Structure formats: C-alpha cells, structure tokens
C-alpha cells in the first residue's frame, strides 16, 4: 500500500485527485493541506511515501515546501503537479528535490503514469515540457537565463515576498516563519533594494510575475 499526501489549495482539484486515487486499492490518502505551512507540518506527522505538490501555494510556496520536506525526509517522493511549464519552475522544482513534474491538464492516464513512475524510484517529466528544458536539467546547465536580480533574492526573501504580496503584516509573517519582526523588516528592506521596488503594490505585481502567487486570488 502506497501512502499519498496531497498539497493543493484549490478544493475542487484536490477533491478530484482524492476521488481518482481513492479508486486504487494500492493507494491510501493519508492527508491533505491547502497551504504550504500546513503541508510541512502534516507531512512531518504522516510521513507519506509520496507527496503530490502544487507549486503555487499560500503562506509557503511549493518550492520551499519541497526543500523542507526533502531536507528532513529525503526518502519521501515528491511529484510536482502544477500549471507552470516554464524552464524556471521546472528547474527550480528539480533543484529543490522534486522527483517528478506533471502538468495539471494532463490526462488521467498520464497522471497515474507519473505517480507510478515516481513511486518506483524513477524521474518523471511531463511530455508537455520542452526538450530544451529537459536537456538543461539533465546536463545541469541552464540553457535559458533567469533575470540576474531574481538570482540575488535568497530563499527566505522569496518566502517573505510571497507573504507580503498575500497581504500579511510583518508580525504575521514573523509568526509564520518563526522569525522576529525586525528580521522581517530587514528582509523587506533587502527585497526593495535588490528589486528596486519601493512599495507593496509593486512587490505584489512582481510576485505574481514570478509565479509566487495566483493572480486570480
């Protein structure tokens, strides 16, 4: 029996996954989460064999969740299940430790193939991902450049940026990330300096552009 944990903030899609996987006698769904912080907490508790991981998550982004889970539980398999097809997301997901990458509009057959492949210890990449991106990942060479300013933003600063863009206060961000308000303010100042964006509205637009949050929310 393979235990599976679902990390997905859209309830309809999450319920669809549960319904589909619930028909399999060899799969047991042991938990679900609709934000990144809750995902890390519940994965620590349930220790599933496989995590189905959306990348655009509230409170803590999917890339950060993958890094945290893999740091603590390297044997847990993680399949990124996302709408993002760009090289940036694919490469960052695998560099964070993902074992597979599947696009959300995949057929039921393709998704089950992705799940089975990852559970068997294989690496899965959706056929919709370009050969150029796959080659770049396999050879560990970035064939497409990312903006230099974004490269300078640390993982913690990206987490703060995401939460700022979602409308949380410095105090709330500090509580979420277990850091002081003063440290949050320092990260915020660093972000504004590195990105040359000096108000929250511009930071929010930048966060949406970088895929840190869903523009529809």
Nearby residues of 18 by Cβ (< 8 Å), 6 or more positions away: 6, 29, 32
The conformation of residue 208, written as its DSSP 8-state character, comes to H
CATH of the domain at 15: 3.40.50.2300
96 token code pair = 């964070």
What range defines the domain where residue 169 resides? 148-209
Residue 191 lies in a domain: yes
pLDDT of residue 146: 43
Last residue of a domain, one of 108, 138, 168: 138
The string of DSSP letters for 14-35 reads HHHHHHHHTT-TTEEEEEEESS
Last residue of a domain, one of 103, 138, 173: 138
pLDDT of residue 104: 87
Helix, strand or coil, per DSSP, at residue 53: strand
CATH of the domain at 189: 1.10.10.10
Whether residue 79 sits in one domain with residue 37: yes
* pLDDT above 90 (res 209): no
Residue 34: CB atoms within 10 A of its CB come to 17
As beta bridge partners, residue 102 has 81
Q: What are phi and psi of 9, to 5 degrees?
A: -90, -10
Last residue of a domain, one of 84, 108, 138: 138
186 token code pair = 């320092």
Whether residue 112 sits in one domain with residue 53: yes
Whether residue 168 sits in one domain with residue 120: no
Residue 75 lies in a domain: yes
pLDDT in tens, 156-182: 898 899 898 888 999 999 998 999 999
Whether residue 80 sits in one domain with residue 21: yes
Residue 79 lies in a domain: yes
Q: What angle do CA 67, 57, 40 make, to 5 degrees?
A: 45
User: Would you say the pTM of this structure is higher than 0.85?
Assistant: no
Whether residue 173 sits in one domain with residue 125: no
Q: What are phi and psi of 145, to 5 degrees?
A: -80, 145
In the chain, the number of structural domains is 2
Helix, strand or coil, per DSSP, at residue 4: strand
* pLDDT above 50 (res 76): yes
Residue 216 lies in a domain: no
* pLDDT above 90 (res 58): no
Alpha carbon distance 29, 51 (integer Å): 10
């Amino acid at each position: 029996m393979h235990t599976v944990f679902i990390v997905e903030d859209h309830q309809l899609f999450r319920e669809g996954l549960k319904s589909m996987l619930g028909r399999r006698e060899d799969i047991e769904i042991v938990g679900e989460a609709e934000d990144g912080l809750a995902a890390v907490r519940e994965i620590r508790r349930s220790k599933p064999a496989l995590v189905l991981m959306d990348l655009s998550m509230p409170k803590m982004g999917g890339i950060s969740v993958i890094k945290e889970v893999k740091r603590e539980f390297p044997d847990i398999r993680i399949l990124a299940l996302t709408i993002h097809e760009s090289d940036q997301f694919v490469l960052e997901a695998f560099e964070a430790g993902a074992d597979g990458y599947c696009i959300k509009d995949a057929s039921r057959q393709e998704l089950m193939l992705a799940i089975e492949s990852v559970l068997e210890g294989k690496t899965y990449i959706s056929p919709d991902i370009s050969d150029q991106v796959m080659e770049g990942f396999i050879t560990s060479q970035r064939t497409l450049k990312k903006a230099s300013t974004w490269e300078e933003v640390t993982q913690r600063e990206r987490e703060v940026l995401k939460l700022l863009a979602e409308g949380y206060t410095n105090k709330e961000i500090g509580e979420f990330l277990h850091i002081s308000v003063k440290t949050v303010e320092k990260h915020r100042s660093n972000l504004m300096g590195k990105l040359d964006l000096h108000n929250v509205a511009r930071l929010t637009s930048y966060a949406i552009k970088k895929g840190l949050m869903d523009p529809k929310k």
